[in-house]
Structure 1
């Protein structure tokens, strides 16, 4: 009987199985603080993030809490959905929603959600801007790591487990989720991509860093860092993204890290709020801070 050498597919499957088994053995040898982030990334590439989540490889320290700050303005249609998606991560978290003077029924939705589940709800009497809402939320936080989560469904909370890992590994103090650094880059209109690239490159030029997406919503901080600068943040609108990054960079000991994330852009018809005027103001913020 003829014997045939294994096909390329069979050989690849065997090699893949061996790699996964070795990584699984290594996983079992680690304690609750989790495995090194480079091993996590390798497993993600091999078997995917969903499988990694099911295997429980994203181990967390005892008593860990993630503070999720959700700035909200006229998001009655999406707020409940984004809260549900946050819960689906099964991360130990406190959710802090700051309603910035909404006029579309968001306040009533938030009041109901806060009565039904553990949510910290804070209400501004009038609209002050995203920057003001973030300042309020940062100062309310009590968890180990603080993250910003927009309520518009553009950012996927399932990425949060990956994003917290560099901080838990003590390899970073601040982690930014980049929409433009991974293989699945964000799909946006050309002008939007160009504006982001110009703003990020100019920021890098002025501040001597190499961000790929300084305007991302997904910014994670050690709580003591962001609460240390929160009282000094002045920007009321979207300029706060650049201001807080610049102020954190002034401390040369602060370690930054970027990781790719998924992004599902919504249109202006669907409620997107940032516009060209914010882009012009961003250029001023780069120079100012």
Structure 2
């Protein structure tokens, strides 16, 4: 059955006539006395020559303990378009909420003080908001067309984080943490009171709420060069982000986030469903995924016993696993993620086998590592296998939800796909 939902009403373009400040760019800083001045002067020169409307640059000092605040105030005295906001507490999210909430600009943006993102992407970032095409805009280092220079460690962390967001919160944006974003002020006034994180998870929470509210999020592929002097504590940030994901997942699952009321307040109406039939509820998907998993396990055991009558254990195990892996992907495609028709089925099966292979490598690798380190008993082997299989199951669900059957990918044509 095809479900038809009303298309969200289009946002109105911003009437720039009579508005003194169209764009307010916030630069959150903490102990940046050396890098602040060149950043502000470069940004100010770019906006002066490239941006056709009135602008402001707001330096949001997060309780710096060096001379950052003095440098900021000196720049504000010299440059009319520069202002300073001082906060007694740290936190990027807290700085953005404070600066955006008190701004009179029509479009609110922010970027990092290191200017890792090429400023040439700024006009394409804010233009869709001024024209009324979009409600939010984000720079993306992972979108097609982006050019990124950074180490493999940060690249891996970034991709894993965004895959985790797809698997847990069904995120449709590609890059949550790129420090290059903009939002319409009228939208920000509705969303900011609902965003609770005061630190690095602020971006993700804002984007997830915007997506759930049916807002248009525009992505701009950026040229981005990693700052080798970055002082971000990766481990502490990762732990905080995982806590934020757990909190937001729980809030959306229990209804603590008033998505329907937010959509009504923003005038967007029911959110558009790009892929009819795809379950939106994470708990529903988890229940169906678990049911398919139990059925697959029983089918595997039965098939293994039948094959074992005519062949040795290893080939029987491999064949039973392959057959049930294909069946598992087919069942999850139809039952868990609600995808019908034959379009993309071949690609789904191939990617499903890749996911199966990763899970198999995780369980087999864990067992091999155990035997390499010690001579385990049966109880220890079973404990390791149970733990590895649990991890493999979580990995499989995240990859199926965030990659193989992600709603955004279902609209992409693949060579040889048949229409339903």
- In the TM superposition, 1:1-289 aligns within 5 A as 61-62=16-17, 63=19, 65-87=22-44, 88-90=46-48, 91=51, 92-118=54-80, 119-125=82-88, 127-252=89-214, 254-267=215-228, 270-289=229-248
Show the counterpart of 1:22.
Answer: none
**SS where residue 186 of structure 1 aligns?**
strand
For normalisation by structure 1, the TM-score amounts to: 0.73
Q: Deviations over 1:238-282 (max 9, x none)?
A: 111211112222312x11111111112112xx2432412211221
Aligned-partner Cα distance in 2 for 1:232–1:101: 24
For normalisation by structure 2, the TM-score amounts to: 0.51
Aligned-partner Cα distance in 2 for 1:279–1:81: 30
Show the counterpart of 1:3.
Answer: none
1:266–1:272 Cα contact (<8 Å) kept = no
Show the counterpart of 1:15.
Answer: none
2:107–2:130 Cα contact (<8 Å) kept = no
2:47–2:55 Cα contact (<8 Å) kept = no
Judging by fraction of residues, say which structure has more helix.
2
Looking at CA atoms only, which structure, 1 or 2, has the larger radius of gyration? 2
**SS where residue 213 of structure 1 aligns?**
coil
Shift of 1:173: 0.8
The count of residues paired between Structure 1 and Structure 2 equals: 227
Q: Deviations over 1:109-149 (max 9, x none)?
A: 01111111222211123x42111111111112211111112
CA distance 1:210–1:249, change in 2 (3 Å): closer
Shift of 1:175: 0.9
Aligned-partner Cα distance in 1 for 2:145–2:121: 15
1:67–1:95 Cα contact (<8 Å) kept = yes
Aligned-partner Cα distance in 2 for 1:264–1:104: 26
Shift of 1:181: 1.7
Shift of 1:167: 2.0
Show the counterpart of 2:362.
Answer: none
Q: Deviations over 1:167-215 (max 9, x none)?
A: 2332211111111224342122212111111111221233333322111
**C-alpha RMSD of the superposition:** 2.0
Mind listing any 5+ residue stretches in structure 2 that lack a counterpart? 1-12, 249-420
1:180–1:260 Cα contact (<8 Å) kept = yes
Shift of 1:107: 0.8
CA distance 1:284–1:154, change in 2 (3 Å): same
Aligned-partner Cα distance in 1 for 2:132–2:184: 10
Shift of 1:164: 1.4
